[in-house]
Structure 1
């Protein structure tokens, strides 16, 4: 990826030049520099493998299920808002598998 020296916008290749998508600034491409760039096409794809038993690998805690009043649930944390916000804690009941969340404030 190349960024414009003039305005900082992302540039695109056009033949032997980099051209700014915003201000049309151009500069010659450097083959050696481009070989060192990491692209998404060069990255290997990863595969998500779920273990049998679903949530059984998650830690448990004592909390009241709002669905069946069971007092044990699996829990995990997940970032669902912007990076400067705290993570959200999710619970899954060990009995009825009801799922709910508790936001950290």
Structure 2
């Protein structure tokens, strides 16, 4: 990150208290203003808050330690691709991204194998980036 993109704290030159961003309607600009005294400083960089989001490359099940024994998860009759057991618990994908639809992850109650609905990958409906 370059120095111009960093968000820093600014302090009053008069009383050493924290300066807060404030709009100055007369000058039509942003200033840093002290809430204790009347000190104002014109802003060099108008960046007040920066929220960098990291791109998620693929959905993953996450921690699946003994989810088959979790009594709060719903059960489904779906064959496990690994051991062919037809009892699995399922839960929803935890991402909040708007560009992908809901994904259900299944965990076999016998072997703890995690998988997604095989019909999604069979008919080409599997969203891109989902780990099967």
TM-score by length of 1: 0.51
Separation in 1, partners of 2:71, 2:30: 56
Number of aligned residues: 74
RMSD between aligned residues: 3.7
In structure 2, the residue matched to 1:74 is 89
Bigger relative CO (Cα 8 Å, ≥ 6 apart): 2
Residues of 1 paired with 2:90 and 2:83: CA distance? 17
Structure 1 position 94, deviation (Å): 1.1
Matched, 1:101 2:101: no
TM-score normalised by length of structure 2: 0.42
Q: Within the alignment, does 1:15 sit opposite 2:11 as a pair? A: yes
Q: Secondary structure at the match of 2:70?
A: helix
Larger proportion of strand: 1
Q: CA deviation at 1:12?
A: 4.5
Could you tell me how far 1:86 is from its partner in structure 2? 1.6
Structure 2: how far apart are the matches of 1:62 and 1:76?
Answer: 14
- Return the alpha-carbon distance in structure 1 between the equivalents of residues 88 and 31 of structure 2: 58
CA shift in 2, pair 1:53/1:87, >3 Å: closer
Compare CA radii of gyration and give the structure with the larger one: 2
Aligned-partner Cα distance in 2 for 1:99–1:53: 10
* CA offset digits 1:22-45 (Å, max 9, x no partner): xx94220447xxxxxxxxxxxxxx
* SS, match of residue 100 in structure 2: coil
